[in-house]
């Protein structure tokens, strides 16, 4: 990150020519809505493993973990979630919901990158890929993974003879699953694209491949869960992917995009958590 910032500071004029406050705020707004969709998806994942945990605690666990993931990282976020969820099967619900959410998020964000690449060749092909991606994402959201996990646990010798009684998973409705899958496919990608085109005044032809690189870099950051919020990993992967583009942008512009994207993601988390706490406090006052 320090190296990227040094690249950017070499040409301060580039920063002035590639920044628009309204566009950046639009990107943050779309990102906050997308983060809300992910929060609801996380809540639904938890409810599948532990139906007894209330919706309020499930949502609270997600938003608290959005702050904990920065210092010292995803492990702390998991511990925060586990402590907030509490109750029967909280540990299992925490692990399973995070694994499920990681798989679903990586699938949909990776698919969004493929859709954008296909869009440059064929609109019909891009639409077909998007529909297939949403359909598979919907299936992943509705899938009950508890039997699979139980079979995997039995592969461990010391647990082979144990028989865990899993409660029946709560079924997520098909319309809700389609809405969540579509939102997770479209909104994060839209936020990055809006940041590049409206927030940074980057041309459409350059914004598309850069958005693809941002999506793939985001997937890499999620998989590198030992790093706080994927800091450094996403930026490195983005920069390396950017160097493979046919029309490779300058190093300064790549640095600016990487830093701007990181700042937008941080603002998305801060704004999202702030709005959540405000809504929660308002709800508590109205129900006194």
Residue 28, number of CB atoms within 10 A of its CB: 23
| pLDDT at residue 234, as a whole number | 82
CA atoms within 13 A on the CB side of 195: 27
Averaged pLDDT, 155-182: 71
Give which of 127, 169, 129 is closest to 146, Cα–Cα: 169
pTM of the predicted model as reported, rounded to 2 decimal places: 0.81
Separation of alpha carbons 50 and 45, rounded Å? 9
Task: For 202, list phi and psi in degrees, rounded to 5.
Answer: -90, 140
pLDDT higher for 10 or 138?
A: 138
Predicted local confidence at residue 256, as pLDDT: 80
- Alpha helix (H) residue ranges in the chain: 2-9, 12-17, 21-49, 55-68, 74-85, 90-119, 123-142, 146-154, 174-194, 204-223, 233-243, 251-286
Closest by CA to 213, choosing from 253, 268, 263, is: 253
210 three-state secondary structure: helix
pLDDT tops 70 at residue 94: yes
Region 71-96: what's the mean pLDDT?
A: 67
Q: What are the backbone angles phi and psi of residue 232, rounded to the nearest 5°?
A: 90, -45
CA distance 156 to 142: 27
For the chain, the straight-line distance linking the first and the last C-alpha, in angstroms and rounded, comes to: 47
């Amino acid at each position: 990150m320090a190296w990227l910032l040094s690249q950017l500071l070499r040409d301060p004029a580039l920063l002035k020519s590639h920044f628009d406050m309204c566009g950046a705020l639009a990107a943050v707004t779309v990102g906050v809505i997308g983060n809300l969709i992910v929060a609801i998806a996380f809540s639904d994942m938890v409810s599948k493993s532990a139906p007894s945990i209330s919706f309020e605690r499930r949502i609270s666990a997600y938003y608290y973990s959005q702050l904990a993931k920065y210092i010292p990282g995803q492990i702390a976020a998991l511990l925060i979630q586990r402590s907030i969820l509490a109750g029967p099967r909280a540990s299992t619900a925490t692990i399973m919901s995070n694994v499920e959410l990681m798989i679903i998020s990586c699938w949909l964000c990776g698919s969004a990158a493929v859709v954008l690449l296909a869009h440059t060749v064929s609109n019909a092909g891009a639409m077909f890929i998007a529909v297939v991606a949403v359909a598979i994402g919907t299936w992943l959201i509705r899938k009950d993974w508890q039997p699979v996990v139980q079979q995997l646990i039995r592969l461990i010798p010391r647990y082979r003879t144990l028989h865990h009684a899993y409660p029946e998973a709560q079924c997520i409705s098909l319309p809700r699953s389609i809405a969540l899958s579509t939102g997770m496919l479209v909104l994060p990608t839209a936020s990055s694209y809006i940041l590049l085109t409206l927030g940074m005044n980057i041309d459409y032809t350059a914004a598309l491949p850069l958005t693809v690189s941002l999506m793939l870099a985001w997937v890499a950051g999620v998989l590198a869960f030992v790093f706080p919020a994927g800091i450094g990993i996403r930026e490195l992967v983005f920069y390396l992917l950017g160097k493979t583009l046919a029309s490779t942008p300058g190093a300064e512009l790549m640095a600016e995009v990487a830093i701007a994207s990181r700042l937008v993601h941080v603002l998305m988390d801060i704004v999202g958590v702030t709005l959540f706490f405000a809504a929660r406090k308002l709800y508590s006052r109205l129900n006194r």
